[in-house]
Amino acid sequence: MAADILVYHATMVPVGEDQKQHLELTRDIAIKFNNDFGVDYFPVVEPVIEGPATRVMSLRDGTVKMSKSDPSDQSRINLTDDADTISKKIRKAKTDPEPLPETLDGLRDRPEARNLVNIYAALAGHTPAQVIADYAGAQFGTFKPALADLAVAKLSPITDEMSRLMKDPGEIDRILGEGAQRAEAIARPIVERAYDIVGMIRSRPR
């Protein structure tokens, strides 16, 4: 991962809250390279952690991260899920019997409720506070269907496009090929300059 970041001279990487530590090695490598060779070549990358859902939690347990490795398919939304499946998963998501509170402080000890509010906020482009203001006092029998409709509206186009591409392997190969060419055009001069800085001779293709 460090190589994938450094080879493009990335300066910022969007990550979730729990991934921040993974950038530390990249930062250490960049700093050591620059110090060892007296250059200011590799940027010291900064994590970008933004939005209300920087750590999306399981639909079955609001204290653990949503993960594709969870044995329960009901714990997550897959990008391959159709609209009906997305809706059913959200409607069956674990909650508690209390209505949504008047303020964000009321979500402090309610991980499942907080998770659904954060997901709604992320999908709607709102803050959690705005969501609470709109749904304060609402029961989950009202909030979950609204969240389900929003999730379907936002995710269905992605699912449809994935389905289209999966039926056209040639198009996937074309897109990957174009991406590889663009990536190489950026990375090659950066790699070659790194070789020059450390004094290594690199054989170049004819």
**pLDDT tens digits, 147-166:** 999 999 999 999 999 999 99
| 12, part of any domain | yes
Q: Are residues 175 and 156 in the same domain?
A: no
Domain span at residue 16? 2-50+168-198
Determine the straight-line distance between the first and last CA of the chain, rounded to whole angstroms.
29
Residue 188 lies in a domain: yes
Asked if residue 189 and residue 145 are part of one domain, the reply reads: no
24 within some domain: yes
Domain count within the chain:
2
In a domain, 65, yes or no: no
Residue 60 in any domain: the answer is no
CATH code for the domain in which residue 15 is found: 3.40.50.620
Same domain for 146 and 173, yes or no, is no
Give me the residue label for tokens 């059913």: 88
pLDDT for the residue numbered 202: 67
Looking at the fold, whether 156 and 182 belong to one and the same domain comes out as no
161 and 183 housed in the same domain? no
Residue 78 inside a domain? The answer is yes
In whole angstroms, what separates CA 9 from the centre of its chain?
A: 21
Q: Are residues 30 and 44 in the same domain?
A: yes
Q: Does residue 59 lie within any of the structural domains? A: no
CA–CA dist 153, 134 (Å, integer): 19
Question: What average pLDDT does the chain have?
Answer: 93
- Two tokens, residue 75: 């714990």
Whichever domain contains 136, its CATH number is 1.10.240.10
At residue 102's C-alpha, the angle toward residues 116 and 125, to 5°, is 45
Whole-structure pTM value: 0.81
Confirm whether 64 is domain-assigned. no
The segments of the chain whose pLDDT lies below 50 read 206
pLDDT at residue 204 in the model: 58
